């Protein structure tokens, strides 16, 4: 994939939904809010890396890079957790990180393409199923609208005049423009 900066941020945010839910549940059960805080820090760190680093050095991101980035982010998050003195034991934080990463990766691979049909082909962005550039912005010759009926004598007129029925036969177009079957491969 060649994710855009926006695509990276959309993806990061969406994929951390399930880990955030898990963190919330753990915080409620254990009464320690640092589970959810860790996910918050992970989100901030991720968005900073997405916007400030990855978008510039990884225009095309090969699939194998995911694992390497996970290790880098693990190291950075671990250091940040130490600096912020989060109330989690190292083993808890490590296990929680990798469970969260697995949930995030599964969400990205399996759920996001179903949630948004064009997610992958829109560089990781959640777009409406729409064309990137509206035709109004494109430079094409200005042509007459075909709202008006076709010119009398045309094929359509020949088929519909006087008939009132759309089942009326039209002259064969191929009789007007014989097909060169020898050239059709």
Confirm if 119 and 126 have CB atoms less than 8 A apart. Answer: yes
Compute the distance between CA of residue 39 and CA of residue 23 in angstroms, rounded to an integer: 7
Closer to another protein at the Cβ: 34 or 125?
125
Which of the stretches 18-26, 36-44, 83-91, 109-117 binds another protein when contact is defined by CB under 8 A?
A: 109-117
> Which pair of structure tokens corresponds to residue 67?
């694992």
Dihedral sign for Cα atoms in the order 44, 48, 51, 54 = negative
Half-sphere exposure of 94 (CA within 13 A, CB side): 5
The residue from 29, 31, 56, 63 that contacts another protein (CB under 8 A) is: 63
Which of the stretches 2-10, 16-24, 34-42, 44-52 binds another protein when contact is defined by CB under 8 A?
A: 2-10
Under the criterion CB under 8 A, does residue 162 sit at the interface with another protein? no
The residue from 48, 53, 161, 168 that contacts another protein (CB under 8 A) is: 168
Q: Which helix (H) or strand (E) holds 73?
A: helix 65-83
Under the criterion CB under 8 A, does residue 57 sit at the interface with another protein? no
Give the residues lining the site for another protein (CB under 8 A).
1-4, 7, 59-60, 62-64, 109-111, 113-115, 117-123, 125, 127-135, 137-141, 143-150, 154-156, 159, 166-174, 176-177, 179, 183-185
């Amino acid at each position: 994939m060649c994710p855009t900066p926006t695509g990276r941020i959309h993806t990061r945010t969406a994929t951390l939904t399930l880990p955030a839910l898990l963190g919330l549940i753990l915080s409620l059960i254990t009464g320690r809010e640092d589970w959810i805080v860790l996910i918050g820090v992970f989100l901030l760190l991720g968005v900073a890396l997405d916007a400030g680093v990855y978008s510039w050095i990884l225009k095309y991101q090969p699939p194998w890079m995911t694992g390497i980035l996970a290790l880098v982010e693990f190291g950075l998050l671990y250091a940040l957790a130490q600096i912020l003195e989060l109330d989690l034991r190292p083993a808890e934080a490590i296990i929680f990180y990798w469970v969260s990463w697995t949930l995030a990766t599964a969400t990205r691979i399996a759920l996001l393409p179903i949630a948004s049909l064009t997610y992958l082909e829109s560089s990781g962005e959640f777009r409406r199923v729409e064309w990137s550039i509206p035709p109004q912005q494109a430079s094409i010759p200005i042509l007459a609208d075909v709202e008006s009926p076709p010119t009398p004598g045309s094929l359509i007129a020949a088929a519909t005049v006087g008939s009132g029925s759309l089942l009326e036969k039209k002259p064969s177009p191929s009789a007007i423009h014989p097909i060169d079957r020898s050239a059709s491969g």
